[in-house]
Structure 1
Amino acid sequence: MCEMGLFSDVQKGMVVKAAGAVGMILANTVYRLKELEANFQLLPTVVVNKRARDAIKSYIVTNHDSKAKFTFQGTKLGVQPSPIVASFSSRGPNPDTPYLLKPDIIAPGVNILAGWTGKGSPTKLKDDPRRVEFNTLSGTSMACPHVSGVAVLIKIAHPDWSPAAIQSALMTTAYNKYKNGKELLDVVTGKPATPFGLGAGHVDPVSALDPGLVYNASTHDYLNFLCALNYSTSDIRTLYDKSFECVKGRNYRAEDLNYPSFGVPFPTTSGRTIVKYTRTLTNVGTPETYKVSTLSKTHAVKIVVEPEELTFKTKNEKKVYTVTFTATSKPVGTARFGRLAWSSGKYVVNSPIAFEWL
């Protein structure tokens, strides 16, 4: 418990001092739902959101002898809404190609507790002499180890699976809704997150171990994708140190990379635009019959899947389907979203869709 007399606006850098100050209030100046990142300080510090900041600042202004104290109340469980897409999280659209929807997935990345080097202080300041065995950090670099760990878990359970199959399992089983059925929120907007914020959704390790179906892909599938993007042979050989050349005259299609999500660009020309995507599903679960369902969050795009039903009788059996997207024109830079799911009585194989008018 500490008395406090320092008040700091994080973004503006304003500090209000009071006599006998032995602590600090660190406050956000922008309302971002309930996201608060722990920041280690040299002074005892409490971090508050904008709503609390406004109330505290009003109290300080109207009370010249303002005083406060804070106490640690322990770890809080079941805080809602949770999870939410963090403000620092990487966002789409993909700057290199609209055919690949990015990001793929989200994972825990705020206030992550982990082992800490004795070479540095918890604040990372040179003048801080303290050393700790554990520290908390936030960032996409914190989310990456979570996903990597789940990928290793899947590889141990399924040693014959390719990297693409593991990626597919992670993406198609991710969740994008809370237990109450509402969509995951984006801390920046306070509104439901789009696939440009959460990709396929939040990683679900248990479900990813048994996804039912996977979108598999080989090294050559990705090389063909690079050919479709007009990469030269010399460009590709900087990435793939083996003999490979794009075949002249071959019709390479970026749309047909067997990816677990769909990035669908449309021209802004007037009238209708029709594009077709082909995907192959591999059965890695029990024999099931799957039925497809689609959702387009815009009247400008119609989605048709053929066939609408797939029956798998054996392990590693493959089935091909096509998706036809029919779109009307929209202004340049418009983005809309949808979903495609294959469902059986046991599995749901989800894929997000991003539509862009370029």
Structure 2
Amino acid sequence: MGGIGTILESGEFLDVAQIFMAPATMVNVSDGQEIEDYVHSTRSPSAVIYNSREVRVPAPFVASFSTRGPNPGSSYVLKPDIAAPGVDILAAYTLLKSLTGLEGDTQYSKFTLKSGTSMACPHVAGVAAYVKSFHPNWTAAAIKSAIMTTAKPMSQRVNNEAEFAYGAGQLNPSGAINPGLIYDMDEMSYIQFLCHEGYNGSSIAALVGSKSINCSSLLPAFGYDALNYPSMQLHLKSGQQETVGVFQRSVTNVGPSPAMYNATIKAPKGVQITVNPKTLFFSHALQKQGFKVVVKAKPIATSTFTLLSGSLVWRSTHHTVRSPIVIYGPED
């Protein structure tokens, strides 16, 4: 009786601000155990909840509640593809509901702190609309490519799951409107990919709104993943066998011309990555150039899950176009 505040112990989501009906704070399990030991060590325990204070933590980081890869739907597509602000976002809120939604809560506000995918998604959607406003004729694939290849790389030291936590990196709106090169796809490219993934014609037809699709009558898409995507992902084979992936890619020049791009490869230990050709020359706008990336990974000695990070960067005088290359496994 007579309590004026609450201390809650939790092992999850300590990176997200919580709103309570009464003064409260949340601590981790170890701190909670210390507090409990103290409470039982004296007949008159006391505590003070101080005002908020600034702390310094490595940033940006991916929230604890954010789902990690690999992609359960396809071993060829990177999940997640991009990271965006989604923690403690000051957002508009309805006055028809209290801040906690609990019975007896009398706290109402036009704004509150919200966290989650519901906060990150609007940031990405807004950037996509922003890019579209500069390039109204670009496809969804072109816009996604621009967002991914211009993302700011994030640190694996802060995010242990690397690309399976942050994808291509942190959203970079100002860079996305001027990517230099884009990986573009049309409807047939998606259909060929779905055929490569093993979907049947009727399933694909339902997805694309067509009467019929016959995968056997289509030319197969090229490369290990049958996709012209801004990232590359190789699933390691189990055992002593070397894993090889040949990725076919095509980029479109949406920057100034003439332009020359040189390739820079970053390969993790035990992985050989080559690109051919190593230089792309564009004489005019919207010109397309193709290239091939070969990834060879040595067998992994351990049976535990392994994630290796590499990258391909195309650089010109004015642009840097970065694609993550992820090698992971072994297979289940």
TM-score (norm 2): 0.88
| 1:85 match | 62
Residues 143-154 of structure 1 mapped to structure 2, 5 A cutoff = 143-154=120-131
1:36 to 2:18 alignment: no
Structure 2 matches for 1:66-77, cutoff 5 A? 66-73=45-52, 76=54
Q: Report what 2:256 is aligned to.
A: 286
| 1:322-333 equivalent positions in 2, closer than 5 A | 322-330=292-300, 331=303, 333=305
Does 2:317 match 1:317? no
Indicate the RMSD between aligned Cα atoms, in angstroms: 2.5
Equivalent of residue 110 in structure 1, options 87, 92, 99: 87
3-state SS of the aligned residue for 2:128?
A: helix
Say which of 139, 160, 163 aligns to 2:137. Answer: 160
Q: For the residues of structure 1 that align with 2:194 and 2:274, how far apart are their CA atoms? A: 27
Partner of 2:7: 25
Q: Structure 1: give runs of 5+ residues left out of the alignment.
A: 1-18, 187-191
Distance in 1, Cα, partners of 2:56 & 2:180:
32
**Corresponding residue for 2:314?**
342
Could you say which residue in structure 1 is the equivalent of 2:167? 199
Question: What's the CA shift for 1:246?
Answer: 3.2
Query: Using the alignment, how far apart are the partners of 1:63 and 1:251 within structure 2?
Result: 74
Deviation at 1:163, TM superposition (A): 0.8
2:234 corresponds to 1:261: no
Note closer, same or farther for the CA distance 1:62–1:286 as it changes in structure 2 (3 Å cut). farther
Counterpart in 2 of 1:10? Answer: none
Cα 1:267–1:154, aligned 2, differ >3 Å: closer, same or farther? same
Between the aligned partners of 1:49 and 1:268, the Cα distance in structure 2 is 38
CA contact (8 A) 1:256 1:279 kept: no
Partner of 1:208: 176
1:209-253 superposed Cα distances (whole Å, 9 cap, x missing partner) = 211111111122111100111211111122111245234264344
Give the conservation status (yes or no) of the 8 Å contact 1:83–1:184.
no
CA deviation after TM superposition for structure 1 residue 73, in Å = 4.4
Structure 2: tracts of 5 or more residues without a match: none
Cα deviation 1:114-146 (Å, max 9, x = unaligned): 111233221122442433211212111211111
Offset at 1:52?
5.5
What amino acid sits opposite 1:313 in the alignment? S
| CA distance in 2 between partners of 1:209 and 1:218 (Å) | 20
Which amino acid in the other structure matches residue 226 of structure 2?
D
Report the CA distance shift for 1:57/1:157 in structure 2 as closer, same or farther (over 3 A).
farther
Match of 1:136 in 2: 113
Aligned residues: 325
- Residue of structure 1 equivalent to 2:220: 251
TM-score (norm 1): 0.82
